[in-house]
Structure 1
Amino acid sequence: MTTVQARPTPDDRRWKALGVCLTAGFISLLDTSIVNVALPSMEHGLGASEAAQSWVVSGYALTFGLALVPAGRLGDMRGRRQAFLFGLALFTVASAACGLAPSASWLVVFRLIQGMAAGMVAPQTSGLIQQMFQGAERAKAFGLLGTVIGVSTATGPLAGGLLINAAGLDHGWRWVFFVNLPIGVAALAAGLRLLPRFPASPGKREEFDLFGVLLLGSGVLALMLPLVQKEQWTGQQKWALLPVGALLLALFWAWERRQGRRGRAPLVDLDLFSLRSFTLGALISLTYFAGFTTVFFVYALFLQNTVGYSALAAGVTVLPFAAGSAAGAALGGRLVVRYGRKLVVIGLSGVVVGLLGTVVAVQLVPLQGVGWATALPMLVGGLGSGLTVSPNTTLTLTRVPVGRAGAAGGVLQTGQRVGSAAGIAVVGAVYFAHQADHGRPVTAIQLGLLAAVGISMIALLLAVADLRERQVRPEPERAAETVRRGSEEGGTEEPVRRGT
């Protein structure tokens, strides 16, 4: 007599587990922008030099970006729950160490560790979403992740301004780090109880590709270092690192191909790039983050240095963008299954319109009233951002097999970090050059925002090209199958089919 095994009911705790992942993601992404408004406090209370302040900001971005792919692959191999909890615990301890730092040098060291820990947490979040959810539920989960990405980035200056305003100039910078402690401890306790114990990849125990990590890390470092240290490194010699980085990444690609031919597990499954949904989505993400994150950089400088806003007032000014981003991401998570890449095109169009509206508002309204004048275009841009980040993440990862979800998420987010660094370098150069040469700050911010519009237009053109290609020639199922064969736990995927 054959016994029919009942299909297990979905675990309701997975939505609570998602809340743990999103909470950890929120504080790690918040730390990319919250320290920007705390730099004067660090100089006043700790005596931090300009070089130390720069490393507090850029060092976090560097180690964050370097850790993403290796940490994602480690989670794929050894279990994402363990990697997530370890990264979150390290992030919390490093935050405490940053807040207690006795000198600027120790602050930089602890900040580098904190960035590495954040890079360990981020790819596990996308991998756990891939494991816990499928189909429309997965799209909704990525929609919530998109909300966190948009809101955490936009509210960082506001949160920093509030903390410094409450704690004072001497010690306010310490509370920028201490605020992570109760959140991190609570998330860690909840994660130990709620995160599912998915097994690591079955089959023979894979070796970790250490040489691949070295090549990839060196290549990403060579690309990011001159970008994030552009203002501190004088002279043009630093740009020689860019071709070195490109060469190292080419060697990494060749090494990973060799690993695949020899039957060894690569750090990154290069067959992922045979999926148009992954390749185009990663390029859209890279170019969009190069445009979107730069807005807060130059606009915050303009509001504080030219208009005379306080750090808190400058943070309040970008709240409409954060609110729009949250609403857009939640909406995008619900609609992506129906509309697919069309939603990304609509979102990027909204971002371009919002930024252009901000340029016009800066021109027409007197300086002190510019915060109110840009509220509506910022809201439109935020809605567009939410409709871009969330659906694009869903569509980019939808055909990626679960067994490679961590490494794939790491690749996607590494592109975001490199894009952000490159965008800030380009847009910042436009803003500072015009301000220095002509002494016209309103024109400088307009040109800086127009440079961000130009970068966002590249992302929009990529999304339109992908949409037209899909209408003419849908992505073949066998492309996804090629990647799935390379995954030990490919399982049954439920891709977003309508509108992809």
Structure 2
Amino acid sequence: MQAGGAAEESAEYTPDPRRWKALAVCLVAGFMSLLDVSIVNVALPSIKVGLHGTQSDLQWVVSGYALTFGLVLVPSGRFGDARGRRNVFILGVAVFALASAGCGISPNAMLLIITRLIQGLAAGLLIPQVSGLIQQLFRGAERGRAFGLLGATIGISTAVGPLLGGVLIAIFGEREGWRYVFYVNVPIGALAILLAYRLIPARRPEQRRRQHLDPVGVILLGLGVVLLLLPLAEEQEWRGQAKWLLVVAAVGVFVAFIFWERRYGRSRDSLINLELFRRRSYALGLLIGLIYLAGFTATFFVFTLFLQQGKHYSALEAGVAVTPFAAGSAVSAALAGRVITKLGRPLVAAGLAMVALGVGGAVVAVHLVPGRGVGFATAAPLLLAGVGSGAVISPNLTLTLSEVPVREAGSAGGVLQTFQRIGSAIGIATVGSVFFATVASTHNDYSSAFQRAVLLSVAFDVVALCAALVDVFAGRAENARQRRADRAGRHA
């Protein structure tokens, strides 16, 4: 990172009058792509009926999207930084809409899996551009509010996906309803493309940077991500312990990637600026995002399974049950974005504590209300967890990227999203393993399985809270040293 880069960029900043409208376009497209992470979960029974898919087919419908999503986040973010974020964003939206149409018309499970893989690639193209455009278009308190809206979008898309999927399946029927889960993306994507051309500023030719693509870095990072995510995504399908050798191989590839980037970065722009990891706000923000998403994603994964398979809720009923979380997250994320520049990391720590209490409360509610009334019993604790989540996701985005120069915003945001995707995969693999193992060992006691699995999710939240507290106390110690140095300077 160049010294004074952030200050120079702030000095050159001129607010674009269309910035809030451009943000709205970005958020709509981001919502569309992130929605497909969770909406498919409630559609899996419908897909199984409609396409006569096997359990392995259904696993790949979910994991294939996450795999290709995580694969291209960093390279696409870096390409957008160098060549202009608008064009990469529009390309991602266009491919995503076309792939969604392909998913909807798929006559068999194999074609559905292929189009889901393409869908994931497209989502990986556009998502880093969203955080990069926020860095580019906003400064100061406005940037915090913009990231607050992005955080609300992330939280709502994840939580409301089951509800929207349930509504579409209820309207169009179990056999064909899953197709409309994908069709809904097509008109949204078409509208987003038209508005993006009008509202998102294009990079002027003189602003484009000629740079090497670092193909070796791209290959090493992509290989490492695949080797790490594949055994996590296929944890339930691949029996035996041999699959975890891929994780060992992934660690080796990541070590090789770091050595290569250090060498490459001496004379050229590397794929990832490793100097960013020396900044506490960025490094701890990545860690918090990884650990929190592990618990957050896994909670809804097992909760949906628990309601549909254990309590025989319909897809719509299961979606309604998680609505309190979505409502709480939407409101608090928008509010947190307005105050994050004043409150800093303590706000994230408070949010994580609320999530742990709320999710833990849901476990207690399931224990006390064993029947079909669990949806009502968990409403209040899920609302509390949602309010806490809104105070985690958007503030952590803002703080993690706060010291990143705008010229590196896309690649830095891609790294953050990659960490979050890895966290999600780790959470689903570990928490899901506890859930399925308990179901098998207790002869389909889904309530016990839910309680044991979600307690592990709470543990992830607590570990993330500890990381946030480390940042809080380190920040206070740094401020105290700075004040002492200032006093010593005045007395000198």
User: Normalization by structure 1: what TM-score?
Assistant: 0.92
Measured against aligned partners, the alpha-carbon deviations of 1:218-241 in whole angstroms (never above 9, x if no partner) come to 001000000001111112111110
- Is this contact kept in 1: 2:82–2:209, CA < 8 A? no
The alignment status of 1:22 with 2:27, answered yes or no, reads yes
Q: Which residue of 2 aligns with 1:280?
A: 284
Matches within 5 A, 1:403-418: 403-418=407-422
**What code does the residue aligned with 1:94 have?**
A
Does residue 298 (structure 1) correspond to residue 285 (structure 2)? The answer is: no
1:333 to 337, 342, 348: 337
> Equivalences for 1:48-197 in 2 at 5 Å?
48-197=53-202
Q: For residues 395-448 of structure 1, what are the alpha-carbon distances to aligned partners after superposition, in whole Å with 9 as ceiling and x for unaligned? A: 000100001000000000000000000011111111111221123322221111
Assess if the C-alpha contact under 8 Å between 2:213 and 2:271 holds in 1.
yes
Please give the alpha-carbon distance, in whole angstroms, between the structure 1 residues aligned to 2:179 and 2:376. 31
Aligned equivalent of 2:364, options 360, 372, 376: 360
Check conservation: 1:77, 1:201, Cα contact below 8 A: no
| C-alpha contact (below 8 Å) 2:401/2:412 kept by paired residues | yes
Give, in whole Å, the separation in 1 of the partners of 2:480 and 2:131.
23
Match of 1:428 in 2: 432
Maintained 8 Å contact 2:128/2:414: yes
Q: Distance in 1 between matches of 2:107 and 2:312?
A: 31
* Gap change, CA 1:47 and 1:204, over 3 Å in 2: closer
1:45 matched residue in structure 2 = 50
Structure 2 unmatched ranges of 5 or more: 1-11, 483-492
Question: Are the structure 2 counterparts of residues 204 and 443 from structure 1 closer, same or farther at C-alpha, using a change threshold of 3 Å?
Answer: closer
1:321, 1:378 within 8 Å by CA — same for their partners in 2?
yes
Against the structure 1 CA distance between its residues 135 and 185, is the aligned structure 2 distance closer, same or farther, given a 3 Å change threshold?
Answer: same
What do the CA deviations read for 1:144-199 (whole angstroms, capped 9, x no partner)? 00000000000111111111111112211111100001111111110011001134
Q: 1:172 to 1:254 in 2, by over 3 A?
A: same
**Structure 1: which amino acid aligns with 2:453?**
G
Alignment CA distance shift 1:243-1:18 (3 Å): same
Contact 2:83 2:203 in 1 (8 A): no
Q: 1:379 to 1:245 in 2, by over 3 A?
A: same
Q: Conserved in 2, the CA contact under 8 Å of 1:428 and 1:448?
A: yes
The Cα shift of 1:207 comes to 1.0
Read off the aligned partner of 2:411 and give its amino acid letter: A
SS in 2 for 1:31: helix
**C-alpha spacing 1:30/1:40, structure 2 compared with 1 (3 Å):** same
* Matched position secondary structure for 2:201: coil
Deviation at 1:37, TM superposition (A): 1.3
CA contact (8 A) 1:76 1:200 kept: no
> Deviation string for 1:460-495 (max 9, x for gaps)?
000001100100014999xxxxxxxxxxxxxxxxxx
Query: 2: distance between equivalents of 1:204 and 1:108?
Result: 37
Tell me the alpha carbon deviations over residues 274-315 of structure 1, each in whole angstroms, 9 at most, x when there is no partner: 111100000000000001111111111111111111111011
**Which position in structure 2 is the counterpart of 1:383?**
387
More divergent stretch after superposition (220-229 vs 42-51): 42-51
- What is the rounded CA distance, in whole Å, between the counterparts of 1:306 and 1:101 in structure 2? 30
- 1:470 aligned residue: 475
Matched, 1:207 2:212: yes
Q: Is the Cα contact below 8 Å between 1:76 and 1:201 reproduced in 2?
A: no
In structure 2, what is the Cα distance between the partners aligned to 1:68 and 1:204? 19
Q: Size of the alignment, in residue pairs?
A: 470
Match of 1:489 in 2: none
**Which stretches in structure 1 are left out of the alignment for 5+ residues?**
1-6, 478-500
Alpha-carbon spacing, 1:228–1:410, altered in 2? closer, same or farther (3 Å): same
Asked if 2 retains the 8 angstrom alpha-carbon contact of 1:201 and 1:403, the reply is no
Would the alpha carbon gap of residues 292 and 186 (structure 1) be closer, same or farther in structure 2, given more than 3 Å must change?
same
Q: Does 1:445 align with 2:450?
A: yes
**Equivalents in 1 of 2:464, 2:222: separation in Å?**
26
Q: CA RMSD in A?
A: 1.6
Match of 1:248 in 2: 253
Q: Percent identity?
A: 55
